[in-house]
Structure 1
């Protein structure tokens, strides 16, 4: 690491060279709370073809190099007459940079006129820089001793030739128009010998055949006419045009035993043409493209209705898996029924009513067209089929189609399965056969599907329980225990003894839940883990330093992040409570917020003035970005705005606190602990933050340890 400017190393980096080893290096001393300057390389060694921008300090050390390419418009002696007329040039805008340092007479006069034109037209600096570059090219293209610019020279410019002509005309540097002198070598006598077109211009090879040979180099024998010419897929240009014109004979030009010839020049088949069969103001397309469109339209009109339309009156024999849509192409879709066409038209109106750009929703329209063309709309469409079509490519999006069909009651929703629950089932299946059934019964009880009704717990908690208990159950099987009824208290204590205290606590919690569920279902007679107790260290809440809390709202990137931080830092809401908030839960008139909680009464939060103002700002931005979203949640993003029910993930809490270096749990603990310091009343904490009595006593005992007496019956 080097601190400072090393010119030898700098030039080696720019020229992509490597310095010999053994050069002295300056070490940097790391001092706490002192930030070192950035030390970024000038080039990416793992990307040798990448071109990095040169830093400003390197540009100052690099000597300026004048730009005057002698190849472009070479200097000539004034008064010298040219032997041959200048050919037509093909200039590009970048050519002006090649002669940017060449002194050009009268350029300052033209630049002044271009500045006046820019002020008249009220255009910016980019337009002025472009026109000045083109004016430099026009003035540099003058012949020796010539003061004015010929009008045909402006035709060689890539763009802006009328503007350059106006600026030259104002300063008297534009010559009178006259015909361009064409070199005699440019005219070749004869007719086109390849496509047999009669152009009446005495050219042996027409321009179209020259272009064809340019894009298809090399010659060979044509498969159709047996002539030796440049080929494209085995055919010369003459045969390619004939077959393209006669593939669908709309114009009646196909001949039996002969070929249709055509006139050349302005009457020859061109790539751009008009067609009366297209509606007015339709963009012009090539004749061959128009022909292909007509062929597709004729094939589309001849399509038949799908043989796989779903009949709602037909009873299903069994539940079929997801269909394989990868083998079906969009070019051979069956004809849609009138009901399907009506649904497609309604979907287009639905897109416009939501304020979306129809051109940006073609991926959604493509999915709906595939589904209704093959399956129809008389019966609901399964959500699993929408997901299968959406997986075909990135040009297929199914979120808006799912929401639209759900609103029209044409959707068979797919049952949501948690990934954590599936992993828990897989872990149970990997256990020995004597334990697998018992663990699956345990999972059924935890999900509320046991013989007795119970409140289900979170799938993440279920997976944690199973993952902690599975290794112990495998050890039991290795010891020869084939039935969980053989497990005793001593066996569990022996299994927990070699484990660390935190790990033993997690394993004990899982085993205690397992044996409690099995005893409840009548699979075992007693619970061996019930009387086992472990000594654990309970961590008390710790306040955060004041300097870490200062300015956290100012560092938030947007209105949503500021409101999330306020709800955590001021009102101590948990991430799950924030993501489940609905827009109707916010009562801005009375300054209240209702927090929804599962299996518990809702908690009412009274918002302070700052939080209420942040809520107003986010509500205004939410309406501005998604004015017609059907999602009822307070916090939404680009993905959930098109879904009628899904909440955002808890990742928005991390995103909101990303720049602060704080965690939501630590910030919530600091807020409750700060309130507990104001008074030793646990009931007040329960009312303000909606926490339980045990949690409130934990914070009160931490804030006022001298006022809390130990519980005489506590273990």
Structure 2
């Protein structure tokens, strides 16, 4: 009333007013005392009140303290005495599933037709029940509800409807037997009347005799100076991934079926025998944690970093598997994709561990943000037989993560080495000669096969060294007479090869302006030309049936029936075979393609090989018709010419002799060289050679033929 009269600030709530109660007289309606428009004066809040800290959330850590999930209690929790006020102590603590239980309590309130006070009370009790759950458990034990001050059946019904009420448990220790069951040696409790547990008895049988334990000083059977209790304890804490190792203490455990197992060393086992125990999994976890703790490689290749100069292949010989850094997330994704790639190809992952190991080393050290050089893959693959790089190269090529190296022929490299070993003046001329033969001269020209280049250089190099030994230090000093003198002591077949190489050398030097004339141009040698000779029929009989597999039969048929050259057979693509029309396309460099019409036998062999090829390598990226297990994963690499030796093994025949016999047999049927050119795709000179060999009486040699 005083505040109303003085127009002061009134606290929240209605002011109290006295009323006179008269019998049978109804009280008038209560109206507010303040009924004017004059504003109310409000007292300012004191400054010391503003400086007070905000009120703390109501979450008492002493009530139901936070526990470790999955932690088993050594003893059952004691009986609690909870009160309604305890719910206010944790009213700001987030309680999982509390809203679900509140929904069920609201439904019960509607069924019982009760008010909001009852609902608030039951929600507070439900908060206490849910907060008292065991760590890591979702449901509430029925014995926990006995700790509530009231309304336990109602809370139990709400929990049951919400699916949060656990089944009742039996007591672990029956009454009357709570004082029995501890082992006198390992102190394990098993709820039985045995003084020594079964595990300690077996330990004593394996280790007869007793002595003082080095750790606990107890007189018991020992293994390596330790009793079973200390042996298990050290094995349990040797790999301390959970932080449970005790300094100067010991951890008790349950016995019987819950006891920790220990595989002891018996005299029956030989010394240094590796055996797996139950702690192997913990050691693996420690290794995995150690690998995860390694830093990321400091040598990750940045695609934005421009290379200052070309670097050779890295030296990977000092790396070990344990030295690998932690791979990046992108590298982990590439490794997972490589595993899926292996499974999609139908390969056994256990057989591809060498490829996986190679890829893991590369992506862990270099990353996958920039393409990986093929030369590094080859260097890692050479570390041991447990590292391979063929499938890694093909996989990275498909993902556009491969920096492929320019393929250089081994024959061309050997030719360069021979040229570098010559004297200085001839070495420069020989390298210029090789450049011209490979199409890299001052004027564009067609390159020839690297094998031919190597043969030219290998035949001409000894002659050039002989010129230098005679004092002829410049190719411009070489004359026709000097070359004839060098060729004279040589046998005719070898002299012909040397002469061909020297003619090619001086022709290239004159073209580049290094010599004024070609001294080998006007030199001619007489050579004996060997005519094709047919093979005996008895050697050809059964050659197709004695082949080891379908692929060998197809190779023999292509050579012996259609007279294809080995280089053309290895270059065949799967798309070149048209089984519908019975045709086979032969790709020829700088010449039109040649079409071969397959006979019935060859077509059946081609069909059988195609089916076997798809069965063995259904997802191979190699486009060639003939492949093996190495080339099936090596991009577009053709098979080597060793396939002809394998196919003709045991017959004593060569692919070239079979081809000559087939063309010569066709030439006997008619002296038409044009027909030979159309059937076998050979040149006019070659066709005339076979016609002359098949019909020597009717075909005379050309008098102007060199």
With normalisation by structure 1, the TM-score equals 0.66
1:144-170 deviation per Cα after TM superposition (whole angstroms, max 9, x unaligned): xxxxxxxxxxxxxxxxxxxxxxxxxxx
Structure 2 Cα separation of the partners of residues 450 and 226 of structure 1:
92
Deviation at 1:303, TM superposition (A): 3.3
Structure-2 residue corresponding to 1:519 = 510
Question: SS in structure 2 opposite 1:605?
Answer: strand
Counterparts of residues 455-494 of structure 1 (less than 5 Å): 455-494=446-485
Relative to structure 2, which stretch is displaced further, 444-453 or 683-692? 444-453
Counterparts of residues 291-370 of structure 1 (less than 5 Å): 291-370=282-361
Structure 1 Cα separation of the partners of residues 360 and 543 of structure 2:
49
Structure-2 residue corresponding to 1:666 = 657
Which of the residues 534, 557, 569 maps onto 1:578?
569
Structure 1 contact 212–237 (Cα < 8 Å) conserved: no
Structure 1 contact 543–669 (Cα < 8 Å) conserved: yes
Deviation at 1:239, TM superposition (A): 7.1
Structure 2 Cα separation of the partners of residues 312 and 662 of structure 1:
55
Structure 2 Cα separation of the partners of residues 635 and 437 of structure 1:
41
Structure 2 Cα separation of the partners of residues 474 and 377 of structure 1:
51
Change (3 A) 1:646 1:192: farther
Structure 2 contact 553–647 (Cα < 8 Å) conserved: yes
Structure 1 Cα separation of the partners of residues 222 and 462 of structure 2:
73
1:398-435 deviation per Cα after TM superposition (whole angstroms, max 9, x unaligned): 11111111011110001222222222112112111221
Structure 2 Cα separation of the partners of residues 700 and 592 of structure 1:
26
Structure-1 residue corresponding to 2:428 = 437
Structure-2 residue corresponding to 1:385 = 376
Structure 1 contact 200–264 (Cα < 8 Å) conserved: no
Change (3 A) 1:595 1:491: same
Which of the residues 609, 621, 628 maps onto 2:619?
628
Question: SS in structure 2 opposite 1:439?
Answer: helix
Which of the residues 609, 618, 642 maps onto 2:633?
642
Change (3 A) 1:202 1:464: same
Change (3 A) 1:301 1:550: same
Structure 2 Cα separation of the partners of residues 327 and 635 of structure 1:
39
Change (3 A) 1:389 1:208: farther
Deviation at 1:286, TM superposition (A): 3.2
Structure 1 Cα separation of the partners of residues 620 and 319 of structure 2:
33
Question: SS in structure 2 opposite 1:647?
Answer: coil
Structure-1 residue corresponding to 2:272 = none
1:323-377 deviation per Cα after TM superposition (whole angstroms, max 9, x unaligned): 1223222224222222222222222222222122222222222222222222111
Deviation at 1:300, TM superposition (A): 3.3
Structure-2 residue corresponding to 1:123 = none
Question: SS in structure 2 opposite 1:287?
Answer: coil
Structure 2 contact 563–662 (Cα < 8 Å) conserved: yes
RMSD over aligned CA atoms reads 3.3
Question: SS in structure 2 opposite 1:324?
Answer: coil
Structure 2 Cα separation of the partners of residues 390 and 568 of structure 1:
36
Counterparts of residues 250-265 of structure 1 (less than 5 Å): 250-258=241-249
Structure-2 residue corresponding to 1:565 = 556
Deviation at 1:659, TM superposition (A): 2.7
Structure-1 residue corresponding to 2:642 = 651
Change (3 A) 1:289 1:705: same
Structure-2 residue corresponding to 1:503 = 494
Larger Rg: 2
Structure 2 residue runs without a partner (length 5+): 1-182, 265-274
Structure 2 Cα separation of the partners of residues 473 and 196 of structure 1:
94
Change (3 A) 1:644 1:222: farther
Structure-1 residue corresponding to 2:544 = 553
Structure 1 contact 403–642 (Cα < 8 Å) conserved: yes
Deviation at 1:205, TM superposition (A): 8.3
Counterparts of residues 183-332 of structure 1 (less than 5 Å): 200-201=195-196, 207=202, 242-258=233-249, 269-270=260-261, 286-332=277-323
Structure 1 contact 496–504 (Cα < 8 Å) conserved: yes
Change (3 A) 1:369 1:531: same
Structure-1 residue corresponding to 2:147 = none
Structure-1 residue corresponding to 2:387 = 396
Deviation at 1:448, TM superposition (A): 1.6
Relative to structure 2, which stretch is displaced further, 443-452 or 586-595? 443-452
The answer as to 2:578 corresponding to 1:587 is yes
Change (3 A) 1:455 1:203: same
Change (3 A) 1:497 1:208: farther
With normalisation by structure 2, the TM-score equals 0.67
Change (3 A) 1:684 1:210: farther
Relative to structure 2, which stretch is displaced further, 204-213 or 657-666? 204-213
Counterparts of residues 392-431 of structure 1 (less than 5 Å): 392-431=383-422
1:270-310 deviation per Cα after TM superposition (whole angstroms, max 9, x unaligned): 3589xxxxxxxxxx973220111221232233333222221
Change (3 A) 1:501 1:202: same
Structure-2 residue corresponding to 1:710 = 701
Structure 2 contact 476–515 (Cα < 8 Å) conserved: yes
Structure-1 residue corresponding to 2:36 = none
Structure 2 Cα separation of the partners of residues 656 and 406 of structure 1:
32
Structure 1 contact 487–528 (Cα < 8 Å) conserved: yes
Deviation at 1:227, TM superposition (A): 12
Structure 1 contact 472–495 (Cα < 8 Å) conserved: yes
Change (3 A) 1:231 1:392: farther
- What is the count of residue pairs matched by the alignment? 507
Counterparts of residues 32-47 of structure 1 (less than 5 Å): none
1:578-613 deviation per Cα after TM superposition (whole angstroms, max 9, x unaligned): 000000000000000001112221111000111111
Question: SS in structure 2 opposite 1:604?
Answer: strand
Structure 2 Cα separation of the partners of residues 600 and 550 of structure 1:
35
Structure 1 Cα separation of the partners of residues 521 and 434 of structure 2:
19
The answer as to 2:363 corresponding to 1:372 is yes
Change (3 A) 1:556 1:227: farther
Structure 1 residue runs without a partner (length 5+): 1-190, 214-218, 274-283
Structure 2 contact 197–255 (Cα < 8 Å) conserved: no
Change (3 A) 1:226 1:629: farther
Structure 2 contact 215–230 (Cα < 8 Å) conserved: no
Question: SS in structure 1 opposite 2:697?
Answer: helix
Question: SS in structure 2 opposite 1:305?
Answer: coil
Structure 2 Cα separation of the partners of residues 224 and 701 of structure 1:
105
Change (3 A) 1:691 1:230: farther
